[in-house]
Structure 1
Amino acid sequence: MNENPADVAPELCVLIAAVLGLVNGLFLPRTRQWRVALVCAAGLVAGLVVAAVDATRPDLVVFDAFVVDPITHVTRITVLGATLLVLALAAGPVRDHPRESEHYVLILLSALGAMALGASSDLLVVVAAYLLASIPAYALAGFGKDAHGTEAALKYYLMGAFLGVVMLAGVTLLYGVGRGTAYGTLRAGLAGAPSAAVSAGVVALLAGLLFKAGTVPGQFWVPDVTEGAPPAVAAFVTTVPKIGAFAALLRFGSEALPPGAGGWPALVAVIAAATMTLGNLAAFGQDNVRRLLAYSTVSQAGYLLVPVAMAGRTDLARTALLFYVAAYAVTNLGAFAVVLAAGRDDLAAYTGLLRTSPLLGLSLVVCLLGFVGTPPTAVFVGKVLMFGAALDGRYAWLAAVAALNTVASVFYYLRWIVPLFRRPDGALRPARAASAVAVAAAVFSVALGVGAGVALTP
């Protein structure tokens, strides 16, 4: 065990930037609060640099509850990069807002919670990280203070609070039967514990993490928050907290549970199948692009659960999840950046986008086809790895369900893609910053897919 604070330097960079941003915001006039965005961005960039350096070092355990390994490295880099893009998306819409500084600080604190989720190897730290990732996000969801935003924030908060309590009950039960909260202790203690008690504890613990991941049965907040919250916030809550949640699920399933304990593979596999199917079916009839993207994120969460279900059954599970979660993050942010750049939520309003704004339209096509899993995008590689993990883990039926859902998803993505090629109904002046983020995300999605061989080399 190591107790050197420098080993959590990326997290410290984010925390220090958040504190400095909050303090600066207290004294800056409203027209100069944009400087807080620069402070926060500097902290994220510094965290990225340190995280990249740390990724070259051997694995270690910090403070007996914080693991620095490949899961942590990917979580850190993906969360920091995604949050940096979100700051770029949010800077324009919240400029000169009375609570502009708080907006940036809340984003950083929630991102810090997501980073801690991915690195935690103790149930008590997982709970603390869950709360840190959740509470700032509740405030962000209601930041617009309109009727839809307030309703969405209230639903988000109430579901999170309830499922968080259920999660705490699961932690208590697992602590009682496993004689500890550290993952190593749990793995040894749960081996001889009553299977019914272990299963009940696992199900209760999953309630909170699956809520954060936006999967069945905790997915009800996703469409409402995505539609009611500001677009940049919607992009954030459907991307960054999910990264930490899936990393935490993978670590718990592979490090804390004995093989097959609590019915983990079958339970998570059934949830994965239900999540991807429900998300795709609900997306078919959506005419609001934000709700369409919301249900798209639900279906993508179902695919991401497939390697989680295979944790402990195949070595491909970790590689599949880590690559897929990075691919999903950049693709999802790119799609939301297009929505923010266009400033329109109606599906019909995107008619002719490829003619009025070719780069923005092409970026949207790349992101939507990326969600399907079209080569050479990054999600294509992620889905190939996901199918490989399911087959290697002897869950061929789950791979078949994922394949059918992938084919079905083509139809509702095409409902958005086809009108882009038609004659435009009117002129469109997209926001420059959001357009730049969309183009950058699309380029990075293709680059990550093309360079997957390099990225996946040990």
Structure 2
Amino acid sequence: MTGDPGAEFLALLPELILLIGAVGGLLLGLWTPQPKQWRVRALAVLACLGSAAAAAPVLPDPATAVFEGTWTVDTTTGIVRITVALTTAVAILLAAPSVAGHPRETEAYVLMLLGALGTVALAAASDLLLLMAAFLLASFPLYALAGFAKDARGAEATLKYYLMGAFSGVLMMIGIAALVLATGSTGYAALASGLPDASAPLVAIGVLGVLIGVAFKAGAVPVHFWVPDVTAGTTPAMAAFITTVPKLGAVAAAFRLLAEPFVAVPVNAPLLVAVLAAASMTLGNLAAFSQTEVLRLLAYSTVSQVGYLFMVVAVAARTDLAVPALAVYLAGYAVTNIGAFAAVAAAPTARTIADWTAAVGRRRWLVVSLVVCLLGLVGTPPTAVFVGKLAVFSAAWDGALVWLVVLAAVNTVASLFYYLRWIAPGALGASTAGGTPSLPDVGGSRTAAGTAQRTALRPAVILHSAALVSLLLGIGSGLWLAFALPA
């Protein structure tokens, strides 16, 4: 970039659209009657779609750094921009039934937009101070969203989330301070040149502290303890947003750190990330085996997915396969994870696997779409996550982390068993249930049954759409990788 302020602000157009949507939505909500708060929802969705549309044309452009190198626009940033914007739009639609009529409905949509903005900032940050600001912006809106239902479980989950976030944030600040002491700079370019000759103890403290903060946003081991409580303590829609969107930016931030400032540090940062990846996928899978509550099962599933995502982070600077592998996996994970949580939202009163099976009754297509999403999370062809895992495994193998690829393959097979604990009863229930569906087809819109039916309709549509997009994205990304990657 030339330093022209107009050109630099234009480079941030997707983020500006999200910011304008958040501020505009807040002002619109102040002057809109409660029964017509859907206008704010419409504005928020339009802002997300506008942000994605603004990010798409510059995706193939060469990497540029704006605002004195503190903000980088490249392929990684572009993928996160588009994926976060579209995922947030879907999450807003998914959350609409649970927040419609709430006294703070407007605030819910605004907080989701601000959380999305912070997530994109995580991915684009090329300066430690901006990274810290992005961490905070991607955290505080989510604390409020986690306890939006204002019940006992939500309050407990929010408190745990906040305390773990505060602890991780302090460690991240200590790490940033250590790196500044070691090099006298916060910019990634200056860190990359100064860290190799810096004090090894200071560098070790700095690298560990910064990675712990990023790992918290991703929900990785060992700062993952908030994930199951927050996921089970909030609504399925908010859980889908909290466990999907921030993870995209956090993984991209970790990828940029390993690819740029931490390339030649005196400590083995790739090995540290590889260990975090191995621990996340293994402990996440082991914890998921005993879960009977659907939200907690999905919570531990998201922890294990971080492990696969961190595999490509560990080889960010070692192979040319890393960037396309990260792009495909981020997009595939976002679509598939949102679909899995939409399946839970489609049966709003069901908490356990048995409850969900009884609730869906003979809605076979609901079960079919759930099977596509769950098998997609396993990595079954031809879903998007399968292509993403194949690309990530190839990148890790090319980056000389053969042991991690073997462990990931074992964990992938193991994860199938706890997904089958949900798939099998659902498929069996859909084929043997009686003639009365769980969500009665009643005409009275003012009855409780009528409300339940309307509430479940939107999540069901999102579930079916996610399953279809997962398949199409898997086929399309597979063809793209086949032609884009070097032989």
Category of TM-score, reference length = shorter chain? over 0.9
Tell me the equivalent position of 1:35: 39
Tell me the equivalent position of 1:384: 390
- Residues 286 and 453 of structure 1: CA distance in aligned 2, closer, same or farther (over 3 Å): closer
1:432 aligns with 2:457: yes
Q: Which amino acid aligns with 2:468?
A: V
- Measured after TM superposition, the shift of residue 454 of structure 1 is 4.4
Tell me the equivalent position of 1:62: 66
Name the larger-Rg structure.
Answer: 2
> Following superposition of structure 1 onto structure 2, how do residues 113-132 of structure 1 map, counting pairs within 5 Å?
113-132=118-137
Q: Which runs of 4+ in 1 moved over 6 A?
A: 352-355
Tell me the equivalent position of 1:412: 418
CA distance in 1, matches of 2:107, 2:380: 39
1:375 aligns with 2:384: no
CA distance in 2, matches of 1:261, 1:411: 41
Match of 2:468 among 443, 446, 453: 443
Q: Which amino acid aligns with 1:200?
A: I
> Following superposition of structure 1 onto structure 2, how do residues 45-84 of structure 1 map, counting pairs within 5 Å?
45-64=49-68, 65-84=70-89
* Partner SS state of residue 219, structure 1: coil
- Residues 310 and 260 of structure 1: CA distance in aligned 2, closer, same or farther (over 3 Å): farther
Q: Is the 8 A contact 1:307 1:321 kept in 2?
A: yes
Tell me the equivalent position of 1:19: 23
CA distance in 2, matches of 1:407, 1:259: 35
Q: Is the 8 A contact 1:259 1:312 kept in 2?
A: no
CA distance in 1, matches of 2:358, 2:382: 25
Tell me the equivalent position of 2:346: 341
Match of 1:185 among 165, 172, 190: 190
Q: Which amino acid aligns with 2:438?
A: L
Q: Is the 8 A contact 2:40 2:106 kept in 1?
A: yes
CA distance in 2, matches of 1:451, 1:7: 28
The root-mean-square deviation of aligned C-alpha atoms, in Å, is: 1.4
* Partner SS state of residue 83, structure 1: helix
> Following superposition of structure 1 onto structure 2, how do residues 352-367 of structure 1 map, counting pairs within 5 Å?
356-367=362-373
How many residues in Structure 1 have an aligned counterpart in Structure 2? 458
- Measured after TM superposition, the shift of residue 191 of structure 1 is 1.4
- Measured after TM superposition, the shift of residue 353 of structure 1 is 7.3
Tell me the equivalent position of 2:154: 149
Q: Is the 8 A contact 2:274 2:314 kept in 1?
A: yes
CA distance in 2, matches of 1:235, 1:110: 13
Identity %: 52
Tell me the equivalent position of 1:105: 110
Please report the TM-score for the alignment, with normalisation by the length of structure 1.
0.97
CA offsets, 1:425-453, max 9 Å, x none? 76222611111111111111101111114
1:234 aligns with 2:239: yes
CA offsets, 1:240-263, max 9 Å, x none? 000000000000110112336421
Q: Is the 8 A contact 1:22 1:102 kept in 2?
A: yes
> Following superposition of structure 1 onto structure 2, how do residues 155-174 of structure 1 map, counting pairs within 5 Å?
155-174=160-179
CA distance in 1, matches of 2:474, 2:114: 30
* Partner SS state of residue 260, structure 2: helix
Q: Which amino acid aligns with 1:170?
A: G
CA offsets, 1:178-229, max 9 Å, x none? 2211110000000111222211110011111100000011100000000001
Tell me the equivalent position of 2:295: 290
CA offsets, 1:267-316, max 9 Å, x none? 11111111111000000010100000000000001111111111111122
Q: Which amino acid aligns with 1:122?
A: D
CA distance in 1, matches of 2:329, 2:360: 28
Q: Is the 8 A contact 2:360 2:366 kept in 1?
A: yes
- Measured after TM superposition, the shift of residue 100 of structure 1 is 0.3
- Measured after TM superposition, the shift of residue 362 of structure 1 is 1.1
- Measured after TM superposition, the shift of residue 352 of structure 1 is 6.7
Tell me the equivalent position of 2:448: none
Q: Is the 8 A contact 2:203 2:265 kept in 1?
A: no
- Measured after TM superposition, the shift of residue 355 of structure 1 is 6.2
- Measured after TM superposition, the shift of residue 56 of structure 1 is 3.6
Q: Which amino acid aligns with 1:280?
A: N
- Measured after TM superposition, the shift of residue 345 of structure 1 is 1.6
Q: Which amino acid aligns with 1:428?
A: S
- Measured after TM superposition, the shift of residue 21 of structure 1 is 0.4
CA distance in 1, matches of 2:137, 2:173: 15
- Measured after TM superposition, the shift of residue 59 of structure 1 is 2.2
CA offsets, 1:66-115, max 9 Å, x none? 11100010000010010011011011111111000000000000000001
Match of 1:92 among 94, 97, 118: 97
Deviates more, 1:338-347 or 1:136-145: 338-347
Q: Which amino acid aligns with 1:389?
A: A
CA distance in 2, matches of 1:412, 1:21: 41
List gaps (5 residues or longer) in structure 2.
440-452
* Partner SS state of residue 346, structure 2: helix
Q: Is the 8 A contact 2:357 2:425 kept in 1?
A: yes
CA offsets, 1:326-372, max 9 Å, x none? 11111000000010011112101233778621221111000100011
Q: Is the 8 A contact 1:316 1:388 kept in 2?
A: yes
Q: Is the 8 A contact 1:352 1:419 kept in 2?
A: no
Q: Which amino acid aligns with 1:357?
A: R
Tell me the equivalent position of 2:407: 401
* Partner SS state of residue 239, structure 1: helix
